[in-house]
Chains A and B, each alone.
Chain A
Amino acid sequence: MSASTHRALFVLLSAGAVAMTAGCTAVVSGAEGAGSSAAMSGGGSGGSSTTSSEHIPPFAPSEPALPRLTTAQYKNVIRDLFGPSIQVPELEPDQRLYSFSIIGAATTTLSEHGVELYSQAAFAIAKAVFSDSALRQTIVGCAPSTPLDDACLSQYLTSFGLRAWRRPLEPSELERYKALATSVGLGEPWLALEHVTAAILQSPYFLYRVELGEADPEKPGWYRYLGHEMAARLSFLLRNSSPDSELLAAAERGELSNKAGVVAQATRLLAEALPTEAMMSALYSEYLDLPLLDEVKFPEAMDPAQTLAESMQREVLDIVNRIALRQSADMRTLFTTPSVASNRDLASLYGLPPSTAVELSPAQLAADAPRAGLLTTGALLTLNNRPNRTSPTIRGLFIRQRLLCGTVPPPPPGIPPIKEADSGVPQTIREKLEQHRSNPACAACHKSMDPLGLGMEDFDQYGRFRSSYDGGQPVDAAGDLDGVTFVGAKQLGALLAQDPRVMSCLVKQLYRYGSARLEADSEAAVLKGLDDAFAAGGYQLRPLLLELVGSDGFRFTVQGAP
Chain B
Amino acid sequence: MISRRRMLRGMLRGSAVGLGLPLFEAMLNDNGTALAAGAALPVRYGLFFWGNGLPWTYRHRGSTDTVSPGIEHPLEDSLTDLYTPLTTGKGFAVTEILQPLERHLANINVVTGLEPKTAIPESPVGQSDGHMRGISVALTADQIRPEGFDHDPHIFAVSRATLDQVIAKHPQFYSDGAPQYRSLELGMSKAVLHDFGTWNSVSHNGPNSINPPIRDAQKLFEQLFSVKPDLPEVARRTSVLDVVAEDTRQLGARLGKRDRQRLDEHLTHISEIERRLNVTRAACVTPAAPASVVDGEVSVLERLDVMADILVAALRCDVTRVFTVAFTTGASLMQMNGAGEINGTGAHQLHDACHGGERDVITAFTKLNLTAYAKLLDKLTADQDVNGQTLLDNSVIMGTSEYGEGFTHSNKEHPFIFAGKAGGKLDTGWHVREEGGNMARAHLTVLRSLGIDAPSYGFNGGEATEPLPFLVA
Q: Contact at A184–B208, with CB atoms within 8 Å?
A: no
Q: How large is the interface on A (under 10, 10 to 19, 20 to 34, 35 or more residues)?
A: 35 or more
The answer to whether the Cβ of A98 comes within 8 Å of any Cβ in the partner chain is yes
In the assembled complex, the CB of A3 is this many whole angstroms from the nearest CB of chain B, namely 5
**Could you write out 13 A-B pairs with CB less than 8 Å apart?**
A7-B193, A10-B351, A14-B351, A92-B212, A109-B205, A114-B269, A176-B246, A195-B239, A208-B251, A212-B254, A386-B349, A415-B409, A417-B355
Q: Which residues of A contact B355 (CB under 8 A)?
A: 13-15, 17, 415, 417
Q: Which residues of A contact B155 (CB under 8 A)?
A: 95, 97
Tell me the minimal C-beta distance from B403 to chain A in angstroms: 9
Once the chains are docked, how many angstroms separate the CA of A210 from the CA of B190? 34
Residues of chain A within 8 A (CB-CB) of B123 are 41
Partner of B150, one of A15, A41, A109: A41
Across-interface contacts of A25 in B (CB, < 8 A)? 125
Do A11 and B153 form a contact, CB below 8 Å, given A20-B70, A111-B210, A387-B349? Answer: yes
Hey, which bits of chain A sit against chain B, CB under 8 A? 1-4, 6-11, 13-15, 17, 20, 23-26, 39-43, 45, 63-64, 66, 90, 92-99, 104, 107-116, 119, 123, 173, 176-177, 179-180, 183-185, 191, 195, 198-199, 202-205, 208, 210, 212, 386-387, 401, 409-417, 419, 559-562
Q: Give the distance in Å from the alpha carbon of A202 to the alpha carbon of B295 in the complex.
A: 31
**In the bound complex, do residue A7 and residue B196 qualify as a contact, i.e. CB atoms below 8 Å apart?**
no
Chain B contacts with A in 68-107, Cβ cutoff 8 A = 68, 70-74
- Are A560 and B259 touching (Cβ within 8 A)? yes
**Are A113 and B195 in touch, CB under 8 angstroms?**
no
Q: With A110-B266, A387-B335, A416-B72 given, is the CB distance from A94 to B125 under 8 Å?
A: no
Known: A4-B333, A111-B205. A99 touches B152 (CB 8 A): yes
Specify which chain B residues have a CB less than 8 angstroms from the CB of A9 in the assembled complex: 153
When the two chains form their complex, are residues A413 and B193 in contact, meaning their CB atoms are under 8 A apart?
no
Residues on A with beta carbons closer than 8 Å to the beta carbon of B185: 113
Q: Decide yes or no whether B147 CB sits under 8 A from chain A.
A: yes
Q: In the complex the two chains form, is B151's CB within 8 Å of A97's CB?
A: yes
Q: Is the Cβ of A177 less than 8 Å from the Cβ of B408?
A: no
Q: Return the contact of B195 from the options A3, A15, A17, A560 (Cβ within 8 A).
A: A3
B152 is contacted by which of A20, A45, A111, A417 (Cβ under 8 Å)?
A45
- Take A2-B192, A110-B265 as given contacts and tell me if A39 and B124 are in contact as well, using a CB distance cutoff of 8 Å: yes
Which residues does chain A contribute within 8 Å of B237, judged by CB atoms?
Answer: 123, 195
With both chains docked as a complex, state the minimum distance between the C-beta of B20 and any C-beta of chain A, in angstroms: 26
Q: Is B435 an interface residue (CB 8 A)?
A: no
When A98-B152, A414-B410 are in contact, do A204 and B125 touch as well, CB less than 8 Å? no
Q: Report whether A93 and B195 are in contact in the complex, using a CB–CB cutoff of 8 Å.
A: yes
Closest 9 CB pairs of A and B: A560-B256, A2-B195, A410-B126, A14-B355, A109-B209, A115-B269, A95-B196, A66-B259, A112-B269
Interface residue ranges of B390-430 to A (CB < 8 Å): 407-411
Query: Are A401 and B256 in contact, with the CB atoms below 8 A?
Result: no
Q: Does B241 contact A (CB under 8 A)?
A: yes
B360 sits at the interface (CB 8 A): no
Instruction: List 10 other contacts, CB 8 Å, given A3-B193, A114-B212, A176-B246.
Output: A2-B192, A15-B352, A39-B125, A64-B256, A93-B196, A204-B263, A208-B251, A413-B129, A413-B133, A417-B407
Give Cα A9 to B194, complex, Å: 10
Contacts of B110 in A (CB 8 A): none
* Selected contact of A115 from candidates B146, B152, B266, CB within 8 Å: B266
| Chain B residues near A7 (CB-CB < 8 A) | 193-194, 333
Contact: B126 with A210, CB < 8 Å? no
- For B331, the closest partner residue in chain A by CB is A10
What are the residues of chain A within 8 A of B73 when measuring CB–CB? 416
Q: Decide: B211 and A210 in contact? CB cutoff 8 A.
A: no
Q: How far is the CA of A181 from the CA of B146 in the complex (A)?
A: 49
